[in-house]
Amino acid sequence: MNLTVIFIIGMLIAFVGVIPPGLLNMTAAKISLKEGHVRGIMFSIGVCVVVFFQTYIAAMFARYLTHHQDIVDVLQRVAFVIFVLITVYYLAIAKSTSKTEVEPQSRSKHSRFFHGMFLSAINVFPIPYQAYMTVTLASFGWLEFNPSMIISYVFGAVTGTFVMLYVYIFFFDKIKNENMTSQKNMNYIIGSITGIIAIVTLVNIIKEL
């Protein structure tokens, strides 16, 4: 497949993976809100540096998994359970909202860069997520485990992560100030997305039985 297409696929997969509010995107938004966009962006760059290595490691792990279908089957079932739990979680909390107060902190741009690297390093979710997605792409014949395709996919994942963090940075004020109904809708949307992914995963599991 064309390297540009692989880049775009990697970008979209990473973009979707960072959509749900979590440690990294919410921290980037809060830093931007309290300390300015520049520091929020520096934090995001730090996150993306680590994401590059995490995605590369995931792709290497996925290449190993393609030769061990039994492990892939287990991961598919684990992924299905995880997506179901995430779906239930977001649909359940759609009835309630919470407002988090952020304490102002004064840090340099460089410290925010390393702050982003640190939080990204302890957030290991991208590794199993990307490993599962790359195995799935390879099973469809869309991704080959050669250096050029892997690097293209990795750079796409880094770009997608940064774009989603960027979106959080510049739209956090609107999200934060929305009323309860809109926050409920946001949770319903996130729950619906993960629910669709869970259904697709279940279909793939059934096909392989």
CA nearest neighbour of 188 among 99, 95, 82: 95
pLDDT by residue (tens digit) across 26-47?
788 878 878 888 888 999 999 9
| Domain encompassing residue 82 | 3-98+106-208
More confident residue, 68 or 13: 13
CA nearest neighbour of 18 among 126, 128, 142: 126
Pairwise CA distance, residues 25 & 14, whole Å: 13
- pLDDT number for residue 46: 93
pLDDT at 155 over 80: yes
> Please, which pLDDT band fits residue 180 given cuts at 50, 70 and 90?
very low
- pLDDT number for residue 50: 93
- pLDDT number for residue 185: 62
The number of folded domains in the chain is 1
Q: With contact defined as beta carbons under 8 Å apart, do 28 and 43 qualify?
A: yes
- pLDDT number for residue 189: 63
pLDDT by residue (tens digit) across 62-119?
777 666 667 667 766 777 787 787 778 767 765 554 444 444 445 566 688 888 898 8
- pLDDT number for residue 68: 66
Average pLDDT, the chain: 76
- pLDDT number for residue 102: 43
- pLDDT number for residue 104: 46
Please, what's the b/e burial string for 138-147 (b: 16 or more CB within 10 A of its CB; e: otherwise)? beeeebeeee
Q: With contact defined as beta carbons under 8 Å apart, do 198 and 73 qualify?
A: no
